Chain A
Amino acid sequence: KAGVTQTPRYLIKTRGQQVTLSCSPISGHRSVSWYQQTPGQGLQFLFEYFSETQRNKGNFPGRFSGRQFSNSRSEMNVSTLELGDSALYLCASSFDGMNTGELFFGEGSRLTVL
């Protein structure tokens, strides 16, 4: 059974640009949640999508957005990039939702903003 796949693994952008990250969950999982990890703030919850609907959202500005497709694949987008957006972005999938059981994480997308 294939794990959670995140693409791209590494990317470099400049301030003001926008970026789209992709997450393919484990087959059959309906929930995809996204997290930002930085040395200073630790691991912070961005949002969760369940069956194509955003179920909850963390405390991030509107520049951070996401969506989920009918095949459960999810994308997150960050517009007008800032230096502070440099981070490891992790997604996790689960069958019932991020609060009900085990989360399966991808290897992350490491974003560097110059």
Chain B
Amino acid sequence: SQQGEEDPQALSIQEGENATMNCSYKTSINNLQWYRQNSGRGLVHLILIRSNEREKHSGRLRVTLDTSKKSSSLLITASRAADTASYFCVGGSNYKLTFGKGTLLTVNP
């Protein structure tokens, strides 16, 4: 299965600071996606990076992918209180998707 494991499990920062979350996975993937979940709600897609890409940007988000290390990182710049949520990564390949427990990001105003 394509298990994503996020690190750290929890992160608390001040508004305006940058937040970096990491993800590791176990087997080869075609793409890796990051999702955000506000407490008890559904997940919202943030960004998808394909296995032949190394870096991708979307607004305040920057994602990197290192397939040799089977790892990815998500950087949120100039964080806002509204960014407070859990963040999950998941790899897509063999029709088995397993999410990790996510990184709980708290942005303090």
A residues bordering B, Cβ < 8 Å? 4, 33, 35, 42-45, 48, 55-56, 58, 88, 90, 92, 97-108, 110
A99 to B: closest C-beta gap in Å? 3
- Asked whether B12 is an interface residue with its Cβ less than 8 Å from the other chain, the reply is no
Complex interface: chain B residues within 8 A of A88 (CB): 40
Per-residue A-contact encoding for B77-109, CB less than 8 Å = 1, 0 else: 000000000001000111111111110000000
Q: Are B96 and A102 in contact (CB under 8 A)?
A: no
Cα of A50 to Cα of B78 in the assembled complex, Å: 40
Within 8 A of A (CB), among B49-93: 88, 92-93
Given A90-B42, A99-B97, A43-B88 contact (CB < 8 Å) = yes
In contact, B44 and A42 (Cβ under 8 angstroms): no
A103 CA to B30 CA in the complex, in Å?
15
Question: Is there contact, CB below 8 Å, between B88 and A108?
Answer: no
B48 within 8 A of A: yes
Which residues of chain A are within 8 angstroms of B40 by Cβ–Cβ distance? Answer: 88, 108, 110
Docked Cα-Cα span, A39 to B25, in Å, equals 20
- How far, in whole Å, are A45 and B96 apart by their CA atoms in the complex? 7
29 A-B residue pairs with Cβ-Cβ distance under 8 Å, sorted by A, are A4-B42, A35-B99, A43-B102, A45-B96, A45-B97, A45-B98, A45-B99, A55-B95, A56-B95, A58-B98, A90-B42, A90-B43, A92-B43, A98-B92, A98-B95, A99-B97, A100-B30, A100-B31, A101-B48, A102-B33, A102-B45, A104-B45, A105-B35, A105-B43, A106-B42, A107-B41, A107-B42, A108-B40, A108-B42
The reply to whether A97 and B95 form a contact with Cβ atoms under 8 Å apart is: yes
Taken residue by residue from 15 to 54, chain B's Cβ proximity to chain A (1 for < 8 Å, 0 otherwise) reads as: 0000000000000001101010000111111001000000
Pair B30/A42 contact, Cβ less than 8 Å = no
Beyond A43-B43, A45-B99, 6 additional contacts (C-beta under 8 Å) are A43-B99, A45-B1, A45-B98, A58-B96, A98-B95, A103-B35
Q: Chain A residues near B41: list those with CB within 8 A.
A: 107-108
Specify which chain A residues have a CB less than 8 angstroms from the CB of B48 in the assembled complex: 101-102
